Amino acid sequence: MKIGELSRRTGVPTRLLRYYEEQDLLSPHRAENGYRDYGEPAVQDVQQIRGLLDSGLTTEMIRAILPYLSGPDEILLPADCLTPQTAALLQAHIDRIQDRIDCLARNRDRLRTYLAAVQPDGGSGKPLPR
């Protein structure tokens, strides 16, 4: 399929698909006329790339682990293939995610405390009477 069709099927703009190729995340075949030609698996690959990017991974991290992902719930990474550099990248990302979770939990708790202090219903979430 051509890049426009892949874009339509995945909802990812062609500009981003070209960027993924530049970042070595996608490897389309080239037709004799130079046009990109994507196989059917490219649809799942793009969806997986989008999901990984949405989770906050960088293209560098995705490039390191993408060859070992065969779907959202399956990882085909033999332990001896995990380099110390890739492990460090992934651990750093896990640490950043945990920091964000901790920050969000603190903010949630502060907002609940604030609501409990200022709402007559004790912050139960029920609308205030007018």
Residues 16 and 57 in one domain: yes
Residues 40 and 94 in one domain: no
At 94 the pLDDT is: 87
| pLDDT per 10-residue tile (average), the chain, 130 residues | 95 96 93 90 92 87 79 61 80 90 96 89 58
At 125 the pLDDT is: 58
At 112 the pLDDT is: 92
Residues 58 and 120 in one domain: no
Distance CA 75, CA 85 (A): 18
23 burial (CB, 10 Å; 0-12 / 13-18 / 19+) is middle
Residues 63 and 88 in one domain: no
Instruction: Give the chain's domain count.
Output: 2
Residues 57 and 17 in one domain: yes
Q: Identify the domain containing residue 21 by its residue range.
A: 1-76
Residues 6 and 51 in one domain: yes
The CATH number assigned to the domain holding 35 equals 1.10.1660.10
DSSP of the chain: --HHHHHHHHT--HHHHHHHHHTTS---EE-TTS-EE--THHHHHHHHHHHHHHTT--HHHHHHHGGGEEETTEE---GGG--HHHHHHHHHHHHHHHHHHHHHHHHHHHHHHHHHHH-TT-S-SPPPP-
Residues 70 and 92 in one domain: no
Residues 110 and 87 in one domain: yes
Residues 113 and 71 in one domain: no
